[in-house]
Structure 1
């Protein structure tokens, strides 16, 4: 398609328990959205009725049919407005199943796409049938569109499969109370796939209003967190948020986009983030979790750790790193994350000298570890086959304990020979992985580590793009329930941070350490303040064993493995 610019809009509003009232709201909001002259309007999830049912019979009674009065009225409005529209409803199917489905209509009222949700959350599993085939990617005059809904975007696989099949614009309909959907899970799907995201969420109560207070009292969830979290948004392929709605008001947002920009998949260094994927290594993602087992969870309840930030690299940086590491170990840390002490440009300029310096770094850091301490960093190393590789390292008093070569080829480390596996190491406090900068941008990397039972990961990072530090690594930690230390080379893009898993996690179960705060899966975030050189943090390795975000919804084992073929296709 040409470099055409189109206008996309997302409408944010409340849906209650009266289907006729909800239809009136949908039609009114379509009119309101049409006032900004969009080419595409995306509506929230479950537009026909709150996702709250007394019984299966009740769910069926308030659901719609594709040719029934609710959607017929929507189609009539779509034709009148002459605009593409995505609406999500619970749909009563001919085979007596009910699905939560996103429907794309053309300006002529033709149903172009019918995409059923792959992952339901909590009680939705009791009433709604999940997808049995991947959602369609539809060629339209606007570009190639893919649809998904809410929980399908809290994990990476459903949006990923759509992007890998060519979608340029992903339309996400939400029914979410979670503040971290808007701040984290929605925006990250754009840059990790290099696509546009148009996401529409709800505001107002997500529980029938007559029982709102009793539900709050019974669950201990404050009333404000039983409301839709809003923050509908439009995100560009580089992660820039082009438009964002409020957290609590009905409104329409819009932005002008160029869909063909989503066909440009290159990072600033020239790396094609789709072509450089390693599908053969991801094979386990599309295999039945019933035949897969985590290693025994042996993570400690608590782990003292530190992220340090020498102000420079090279030998001056090494001296400062040693001083900061000794200080961290003296304060009780068992794991210290050090940013790369050589940047990519310096290494490429004189690889032999960089390899020599790497040996000096390992020996120097080894000497300050002590009997129980470990340091992670990244360096160029020679493998057993003598090939040079960029590696993330875990160093102990005995030397290198884990050497993880870069898995994905990148242009800035073009000299590095990729390795064919991700490794983990069991330590006294848990199972650890170390990840290089240019492996951390691929969602499959952290998914495989989670499946391998990793409870703590360290990324010595030289960021290329703002989204890596703003949403990317934090989201990797959240969607996989992995504690994270990110030690970043200081730059205008941001500084290092740590994430510590929330020990209270599964929604609607008793919590002890914190009140419910509206976060669905985001861990505690601790940022290294500007000007500070060391961040001390307590991690919770044992908490990684619990990945059940809500009843019957495990972030890892409930991934839609049968529909992940595009991820592992060569």
Structure 2
């Protein structure tokens, strides 16, 4: 039965190295659990694949080193959980019926009882050769400290698995990792807490992730520096607002801990009062739960390079803004994204008519100066019969060529009628999707645009929380492999930025233009400038077509579509 107490509890993540000797691996796990016990936690999370390196000679070898539930390895973990009086989450490979093997997270109670098993839903690279993906959704485990759930590594590089767990009521997500990627720590781990308003306790590995004796040969064969064949560390504990409460170093065995108040994860309200669960539109997300094999293939046709610009709009008049647009146009920008004017986020209902006329004036003024191959994207207030709608519009020399209304209700724009779909516009250089600021916090929004073969997303941003720019929008570009323009009028919650995709992307692929840097999906960013209202950025629409992060792991087509009912059905 879940405790409803607001008393803080201490949770811990144990970061360690795991090799090919299973006896030594068990000793390591028991040692770090004893280390964790010194912090007096009620929950300890261990990394993924604690029984053996995720490196196998063949399928028979994988099965041989995998565990049964009554194995000496797991029996010892169960006993240690009881000895230290804490819930313990551990990742391992398990033998399953028919000679199959799963990558699984297991949760043991302080009494040593096995409470639940969560099989990995999204496999990466060679894991597809040896492991079976989950066939059933991971359990939400009701305990006296809260509702706990588990996922592993690549499950959290895309949004679906942790998002579904949160939608089903999980308060604390336990993430076991086996990752070399620095963007796990600086992006993928913390964003899953903030976008779902839950706690995340994540434990990664350090040390070699391949047999140590083979490091040099594997590095030479793959052109991957040896440092990126090791666990990246940075295990962490993250609060529902995205604040990192504790983080480990990158190289050494370490236990981190923090106090958390679990019931804080029950509030899903943004600073403006919007409930991010109640405001979802599941009726619009149905295609996310459909088999990619049955869906029409997206067609990409973007150009390899595109000069873009972001313009910061604070108190400038429309005439002054047109001067800035003309300057960006002279600098070669063909796609120009305007931040919303600073006052836009505080529009009152009695001002809507004024803002609608102001938008029409901007469209007319831009028509006088834009070249035929240049497009400006801007937030607008548009008339919808007797009502109004918050929109993002694409403006050409001959007027508005596309518009996207706000899809999700928000309290600060409660006056806006809601659009019922996401649309993209085919411009001469790329397919572009436009999203209003308050739609950008929902991972479903970008997923649907990416599935429609959008190559660039433009979001005129008015953030309400720091995570939106620090991790949220970066993650949307990363997990969907999208170029992105996200201009902001002020930097209170962070700088607006552009994300321009790089050509080399697929891990273990043939990298032509740069040396592998360990980054899994995070794109390079161009932050908005302090010293100029205009920030130029180069985008690469064509590179959005490659979404294969590693062999047999496509960022969109390998989503666990058959387990996404919590996303596609009303709560």
TM-score by length of 1: 0.98
Secondary structure of the structure 1 residue equivalent to 2:460: strand
The offset of 1:493, in angstroms, is: 1.0
Which position in structure 1 is the counterpart of 2:241?
A: 238
Tell me, yes or no, if the aligned pair for 1:461 and 1:488 is still in contact at 8 Å: yes
1:537 aligns with 2:520: no
1:295 aligns with 2:298: yes
The offset of 1:366, in angstroms, is: 3.0
Q: Name whichever of 510-519 and 337-346 sits farther off.
A: 337-346
The offset of 1:295, in angstroms, is: 3.5
Given candidates 214, 223, 227, the residue that maps to 2:226 is 223
Secondary structure of the structure 1 residue equivalent to 2:207: strand
1:379 aligns with 2:361: no
Which position in structure 2 is the counterpart of 1:488?
A: 488
1:332 aligns with 2:332: yes
Given candidates 129, 134, 139, the residue that maps to 1:131 is 134
**1:391-540 equivalent positions in 2, closer than 5 A:** 391-540=391-540
CA distance in 2, matches of 1:467, 1:368: 37
Which position in structure 2 is the counterpart of 1:165?
A: 168
Q: Name whichever of 523-532 and 141-150 sits farther off.
A: 523-532
Which position in structure 2 is the counterpart of 1:272?
A: 275
Deviations along 1:514-543, whole A, 9 cap, x unmatched? 110111011111111333322111111000
Which position in structure 1 is the counterpart of 2:353?
A: 352
CA distance in 2, matches of 1:217, 1:267: 49
Secondary structure of the structure 2 residue equivalent to 1:131: coil
Tell me, yes or no, if the aligned pair for 1:321 and 1:338 is still in contact at 8 Å: no
Which position in structure 1 is the counterpart of 2:309?
A: 306
Which position in structure 2 is the counterpart of 1:92?
A: 95
Secondary structure of the structure 2 residue equivalent to 1:180: helix
Which position in structure 1 is the counterpart of 2:557?
A: 557
Deviations along 1:373-430, whole A, 9 cap, x unmatched? 00111011113x4431000111111111111000000000000011100010111111
Tell me, yes or no, if the aligned pair for 1:309 and 1:321 is still in contact at 8 Å: no
CA distance in 1, matches of 2:534, 2:513: 26
Secondary structure of the structure 2 residue equivalent to 1:25: helix
CA distance in 2, matches of 1:560, 1:100: 15
CA distance in 2, matches of 1:76, 1:136: 22
Given candidates 75, 78, 81, the residue that maps to 1:75 is 78
Tell me, yes or no, if the aligned pair for 1:64 and 1:92 is still in contact at 8 Å: yes
Q: Which runs of 4+ in 1 moved over 6 A?
A: none
The offset of 1:299, in angstroms, is: 0.6
1:64 aligns with 2:39: no
Q: Name whichever of 364-373 and 108-117 sits farther off.
A: 364-373
CA distance in 1, matches of 2:368, 2:270: 37
Deviations along 1:418-473, whole A, 9 cap, x unmatched? 11000101111110011100000000000000100000011001111110110100
The offset of 1:513, in angstroms, is: 1.3
CA distance in 2, matches of 1:349, 1:475: 36
Secondary structure of the structure 2 residue equivalent to 1:249: coil
CA distance in 2, matches of 1:433, 1:424: 4
Secondary structure of the structure 2 residue equivalent to 1:535: strand
The offset of 1:223, in angstroms, is: 0.8
CA distance in 2, matches of 1:471, 1:320: 32
CA distance in 1, matches of 2:346, 2:566: 34
The offset of 1:114, in angstroms, is: 0.3
CA distance in 2, matches of 1:4, 1:366: 60
Given candidates 24, 28, 37, the residue that maps to 1:34 is 37
1:208 aligns with 2:211: yes
In the superposition, relative to structure 1, how do residues 294 and 322 fare at CA in structure 2: closer, same or farther (>3 Å)? farther
Q: Name whichever of 179-188 and 341-350 sits farther off.
A: 341-350
TM-score by length of 2: 0.98
CA distance in 1, matches of 2:349, 2:531: 29
Structure 2 portions without partners, runs of 5+? none
Secondary structure of the structure 2 residue equivalent to 1:95: helix
The offset of 1:355, in angstroms, is: 1.6
The offset of 1:245, in angstroms, is: 0.8
The offset of 1:363, in angstroms, is: 1.6
Deviations along 1:300-350, whole A, 9 cap, x unmatched? 01111011113x24xx24333222211111011110110012422134452
Which position in structure 1 is the counterpart of 2:193?
A: 190
Tell me, yes or no, if the aligned pair for 2:390 and 2:405 is still in contact at 8 Å: yes
Which position in structure 2 is the counterpart of 1:141?
A: 144
CA distance in 2, matches of 1:495, 1:368: 28
1:567 aligns with 2:567: yes
CA RMSD of aligned residues (A): 1.1
In the superposition, relative to structure 1, how do residues 317 and 127 fare at CA in structure 2: closer, same or farther (>3 Å)? farther
The offset of 1:365, in angstroms, is: 2.7
Tell me, yes or no, if the aligned pair for 1:495 and 1:530 is still in contact at 8 Å: no
Tell me, yes or no, if the aligned pair for 2:298 and 2:451 is still in contact at 8 Å: no
Structure 1 portions without partners, runs of 5+? none
